[in-house]
């Protein structure tokens, strides 16, 4: 007898804050999201920051906020009195915020917290530190939530999502595009293969756990019709600096690499062979060690780029203007 299919599982150990990741599967009845962490000492967010001490967004995509953003579920926790009296609110965003639902939150500064979100056919059941709150009804179709974002004045210790519904053709797609990699369990000291994205449109913003030293990022996809360029960036969360930026210009048959630091672009390197073509799937590999990032198209080396910023700080991947077939994070070599 075949074993019971418990759907797709995502488990991330000690993620940085903010944490953002695509959901390869769909929310369904029985999906459970658990978020473990600790609230930091400071109560007032810095100027221009999100006003919530903690926020959780189940979003349509990982793209930055804009007028087209869709958020089937938003949870925000605020210290309204600046004295440790936390309130939390639930809401939905589509063409603007809808009516907010507020509750007193069972939180304490500098103490560990556990937030559990259970998905039902009628809504979301939220539990904070064993305190249950009234169900928040679905205002938007739950399958429209394809990404999770967590941030605020917190330190995360673990994020887990259980029983996501598998997309159609999931097994075939991971074999065709991801080399059979379907694992989404990331532990800080574990260098196992990880599937980061599958069959989605960019932009993609994705947190990388444990950095990229001695690892390689494999990106399979095609360019967007009507766009002559695509971009791939490796950077540090909470920083404007970009450690590595690769731009492919299809019209000019040009690949260029650069670094953005201290508010300005550095000297661009554009003497790379560019094998990428319109309407052809490509397989871009970025292999990182302590000194450089080596760029491949499949197994053909295109060039290398010496680090201009500390590579151990890199923990975020951004991809622009391409149809993503798969993104995987694989063990590399530091020989």
Q: Which of 6-10, 44-48, 266-270, 326-330 has the lowest mean pLDDT?
A: 44-48
| C-alpha to C-alpha distance for 49 and 102, rounded to whole angstroms | 21
Predicted confidence (pLDDT) per residue in 164-210, tens digit: 999 999 999 999 999 999 999 988 767 789 999 999 888 899 999 88
**Structure confidence at residue 2 as a pLDDT band (50, 70, 90):** very low
* Model pLDDT, residue 86: 84
- The two most distant CA atoms of the chain are separated, in Å, by 61
- Average model confidence (pLDDT) across the chain: 89
SS3 assignment, position 228: coil
**Structure confidence at residue 279 as a pLDDT band (50, 70, 90):** confident
Highest mean pLDDT among 36-40, 63-67, 72-76, 202-206: 72-76
- The owner of tokens 């290398």 is 304
| Average pLDDT for 218-229 | 88
Tell me which residue of 283, 277, 271, 219 sits closest to 249, measured CA to CA: 277
Q: Is the pLDDT of residue 297 over 70?
A: yes
Q: Is the pLDDT of residue 80 over 80?
A: no
Burial of 100 (C-beta count, 10 Å sphere; 0-12/13-18/19+): exposed
| Average pLDDT for 47-56 | 72
Q: Is the pLDDT of residue 1 over 50?
A: no
Residue 244: how many other CB atoms lie within 10 Å = 25
CA-CA-CA-CA torsion sign (162, 163, 165, 166): positive
Predicted confidence (pLDDT) per residue in 10-41, tens digit: 999 999 889 999 999 999 999 999 999 998 86
Predicted confidence (pLDDT) per residue in 126-137, tens digit: 999 999 999 999
Q: What are phi and psi of 248, to 5 degrees?
A: -105, 125
* Model pLDDT, residue 65: 65
Beta strand ranges found along 120-214 (DSSP E): 123-128, 131-132, 136-137, 147-152, 154-164, 185-186, 194-201, 204-207
Q: Which residues of 288-309 are buried (b: 16+ CB within 10 A; e: fewer)?
A: bbeeebbbbbeeeebeebebbb
All domains in the chain, ordered by first residue = 8-164 (2.60.120.200), 193-331 (2.60.120.200)
- DSSP string across 8-72: EEEEEES--SSEEEE-SSB--TT-EEEEEEEE-S--SPPTTS-S-SEEEEEES-SSPP-TT-EEE
Q: Is the pLDDT of residue 265 over 70?
A: yes
| C-alpha to C-alpha distance for 67 and 51, rounded to whole angstroms | 19
Q: Which of 163-172, 220-229, 256-265 has the lowest mean pLDDT?
A: 220-229
């Amino acid at each position: 007898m075949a074993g019971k299919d418990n759907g797709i599982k995502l488990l991330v150990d000690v993620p940085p804050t903010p944490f953002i990741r695509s959901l390869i599967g769909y929310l369904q009845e029985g999906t459970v999201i658990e978020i473990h962490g600790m609230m930091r000492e400071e109560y007032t967010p810095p100027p221009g920051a999100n006003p919530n001490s903690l926020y959780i967004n189940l979003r349509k995509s990982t793209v930055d906020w804009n007028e087209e953003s869709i958020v089937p579920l938003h949870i925000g926790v605020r210290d309204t009195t600046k004295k440790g009296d936390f309130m939390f609110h639930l809401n939905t965003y589509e063409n603007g915020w809808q009516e907010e639902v507020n509750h007193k939150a069972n939180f304490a500064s500098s103490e560990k917290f556990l937030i559990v979100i259970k998905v039902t056919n009628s809504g979301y059941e939220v539990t904070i530190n064993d305190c249950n709150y009234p169900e928040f009804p679905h205002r938007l179709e739950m399958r429209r939530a394809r990404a999770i974002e967590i941030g605020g004045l917190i330190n995360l210790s673990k994020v887990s999502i259980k029983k996501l519904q598998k997309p159609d053709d999931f097994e075939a797609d991971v074999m065709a595009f991801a080399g059979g990699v379907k694992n989404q369990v990331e532990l800080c000291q574990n260098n196992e293969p990880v599937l980061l994205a599958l069959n989605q449109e960019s932009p993609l913003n994705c947190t990388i756990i444990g950095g990229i030293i001695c690892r390689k990022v494999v990106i399979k996809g095609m360019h967007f019709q009507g766009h002559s360029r695509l971009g791939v960036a490796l950077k540090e969360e909470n920083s404007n600096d970009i450690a590595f930026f690769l731009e492919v210009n299809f019209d000019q048959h040009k690949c260029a690499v650069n670094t953005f630091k201290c508010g300005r672009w550095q000297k661009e390197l554009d003497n790379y062979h560019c094998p990428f073509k319109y309407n052809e799937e490509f397989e871009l590999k970025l292999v990182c060690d302590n000194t450089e990032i080596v760029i491949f198209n499949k197994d053909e080396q295109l060039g290398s780029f010496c680090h201009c910023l500390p590579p151990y700080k890199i923990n975020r991947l951004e991809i622009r203007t391409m149809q993503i077939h798969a993104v995987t994070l694989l063990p590399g070599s530091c020989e």
